[in-house]
Chain A
Amino acid sequence: MYIVGAGRTKFGKLPKSLIELTYEAMFNAIEDSPLDIKDIDAIYVSNFLGGPLNGQLHFNSIIASLLPSLNIPIIHIETACASSSVALNQALNSLKNTPNIMIIGVEKMTGTELMSPVDAIAMAGDHENDYEQGLIFPAAYALIAQQYMRKFGISHDVLEQVSYINHKNANRNPLAHFYHKEVTLEMIKKSQMIASPLNLFDCSPLSDGAAAIVISNKKHDDRDIRILSSQIATDTISLTQRADMTSFLATKIAAAKAYKEAGITPENVDVVEVHDCFTISELLALEDLGFCKPGDSSKMIMDGDILIDGNFPVNMDGGLKANGHPIGATGLAQIYEIVTQLRLEAGSRQVDNPEIGLMQSIGGIGGTCGITLLGR
């Protein structure tokens, strides 16, 4: 199983519509691949808020409208912020019957008027219980941060460093939401409080954008990237049902299965893209994925291990924080980055000769986790 094409749009507050973004990513992925659009046997599309924000559901038929007279099976997958890694996972399951598949992720979050994005994103949580008590998304991650900081005795400085590093990486990624934004530690420290202890720079932005990949059951070209494993796991969505709030069990389970399937250990991984929807999430990810012991991620961060030229580069594209977080497209953008790194095509943010890459995608507050392992 191979990724034979990858394409994306710029992320950010864009003038293009949901549908225009979709088309652009599909076009770029096909152009990047040795295959023709007519070779595609099925499409999986990942989109989270098309209904509440854009008034558009039945999104698979929209894809069909953009590919007149193909009439192939197209399936829409929604698992909140993990939608695109789950779409890839499901596509892989059907690769036997449909040898060439395209996976598209897209989200249009700015300039929409149907509903406040804060309310719409809260749909990824437990609406009946938690949301009714005012637990909007940043508040849920704020509680995780509060618990984590207390348990391991770390200060907000560590979270500020996560934000700072991600912004610095985004300055090397022309397609990133905050490519042009110069961010200083002082700006981060002084930014507006959103839900204590998280301030504005702890939060990923509302972004528009799309990404797409083409997968095939056989290798077509030297640039093709091998899919070593794709695993998903789930967990209770409400934090009140979990014994430990400072770790995501779904990440641990999916990661363990993925390492096993690929026949590797965390030590074999060279480059990583983790789901830093809030800075605290990056700390949890590094620990849950087995790159360090619980409580030790702050050392990796403060020592600079996770820098692009550090000994364990993380979120080279700027992460959700600074590359942007167009929810339905985010997981595929992470895969796009790993593919680009493994192909050695990442330009000024290229990591030295990586062979294995991992992406972690989280839906809600750890209710879904998708792990993808890729190799050269």
Chain B
Amino acid sequence: MALEEHAALPCLGGNMKYCCVHCKKCWNHPVEKCIFCGKEITQIKETRYKVIGYTEVFIPSTGNEKVPYFVNLLEGKQGHKIFQKTFQKYDLGKVIDLLEDMVLDQKIGIVGSGLMGIQLAAYMIQYGFPTVLKTRSDDGKKIAYSKIQKNVSKRMSEEEVKKSLQHLTVSTKYKDLAECDIIIEAIAEDITLKKEVFETLSTICKSSAIFATNSSSLSIDELAGMTDRPGMCIGMHFFNPVHRMDLVEVVIGNATTDQTKKIIIDLVLKLNKKPIIVKNSPGYVVNRLLLPQINEAIIMLEEGIASKEDIDNAVKLGLNHPMGPFQLADYIGLDICLSILEVLNKEGTSMKTRPATLLYKMCEEGKLGMKTKEGFYKY
């Protein structure tokens, strides 16, 4: 799996101009002294700009793989012009504040400091969102902080990392989530535990807060039922690794309001990701398609139809998937695969989803994939 470290960062820089007050000349690049008069340069930074032009781009390029996007021509009060890339369309004449738009927007809460919780927090602060991460223990708090720091360091300069980390709060207390606008629950895939979290959030968070779950298969309606605000509960299913995988499944429950849906879709777009809308149902879209395939691959292996390497090659080279089902199952974790399959099987979707015997056996033996150094393959 090619986990190339590259993600588009939001446009926060680029709005600095370097001007010689004496010669009335300006540079876009950092200049210390004016070559015309030798005097010191003044740095001018504006944050409020008017949209005076835009183009919508439909052709992808390196670093701009996701299309269409907008390149806006912005003009500041002092007449300085800059470009800004967005995925949202702005009307001509609109005044935008880069600081407000990028940083002061919404406050995000994340419950759970597992693999996904850490990555979500790292991704949020990278995009300038004030973020509170709730962990269980003080030890976990320290570990989470250093993991997030390490995660963002891979894609940012030292200075940017410092700036991003200022947006981060890691806490063991639920009450620190009280002021968050959107809370994303990212704990273990266990309906009982998740219900407890949603119930607790109800009693602590401000009434305007939206509760989202990063569940990969469980029912939004069941979770919403535990809260005082079923209309403001929604699914927000991110994929691992978060900075690489562009999809977010936005899962709409029976009670989810249009307003909640709109706020979450806007957030997903601001995060430079692609939202798809899914009605609440077991496994949503991705896992309902994926897990039966993984299960069938395991059954084929059990039946001796083909080797695991050949089945992986069949899917990679014949179906043009980047990874084969066994590689992917190991990457996801076999315990997680099993739990999703059990949900699909119990809820009775039309596919053949009774988990393969070999899958149960491997989970019992603790061979859960990459994270335990052995699954179908050894790592």
Contact = CB atoms under 8 A, between A and B. Distances in A.
Binding between chains A and B: yes
Interface of A: 17, 19-20, 23, 26-27, 30-31, 36-38, 65-69
Interface stretch (B23-31, B261-269, B272-280): B23-31
B46 to A, nearest CB: 19
Contacts of B35: 23, 26-27, 30, 37, 66-67
A23 B25 contact: no
B36 interface: yes
Given A37-B36, A38-B36, A68 B31 contact: no
B42 to A, nearest CB: 15
A281 to B, nearest CB: 35
Interface of B: 25-31, 33, 35-36, 38
A30 B38 CA distance: 10
A68 B33 contact: no
A17 B33 contact: no
Given A20-B30, A23-B31, A31 B25 contact: no
B326 to A, nearest CB: 33
Contacts of A20: 29-31
Q: Is the interface of B mostly helix, strand, loop or mixed?
A: loop
Given A27-B35, A65-B29, 20 more contacts: A19-B29, A20-B29, A20-B30, A20-B31, A23-B29, A26-B35, A27-B33, A31-B38, A36-B36, A37-B35, A37-B36, A38-B36, A65-B27, A65-B28, A66-B27, A66-B29, A66-B31, A66-B35, A68-B26, A69-B25
A31 B28 CA distance: 22
Given A23-B35, A30-B35, A31-B38, A68 B29 contact: no
B17 to A, nearest CB: 12
A99 B213 CA distance: 71
Nearest to A68: B25
B105 to A, nearest CB: 31
Contacts of B31: 20, 23, 66
10 contacts: A17-B29, A20-B29, A27-B35, A31-B38, A37-B36, A65-B27, A65-B29, A66-B29, A66-B35, A68-B27
Contacts of A19: 29
B18 to A, nearest CB: 10
A116 to B, nearest CB: 15
Contacts of A17: 29
Nearest to A29: B35
B349 to A, nearest CB: 45
Across the A-B interface, give the 10 residue pairs with the lowest CB-CB distance, nearest first: A19-B29, A68-B25, A37-B35, A27-B35, A37-B36, A23-B31, A20-B30, A30-B35, A20-B29, A26-B35
Contacts of B29: 17, 19-20, 23, 65-66
B162 to A, nearest CB: 16
A65 B25 CA distance: 11
Contacts of A68: 25-27
A51 to B, nearest CB: 14
Nearest to B33: A27
Nearest to B31: A23
Nearest to A27: B35
A375 to B, nearest CB: 29
Nearest to A65: B28
A24 to B, nearest CB: 8
Contacts of A38: 36
Nearest to A69: B25
A27 B30 CA distance: 13
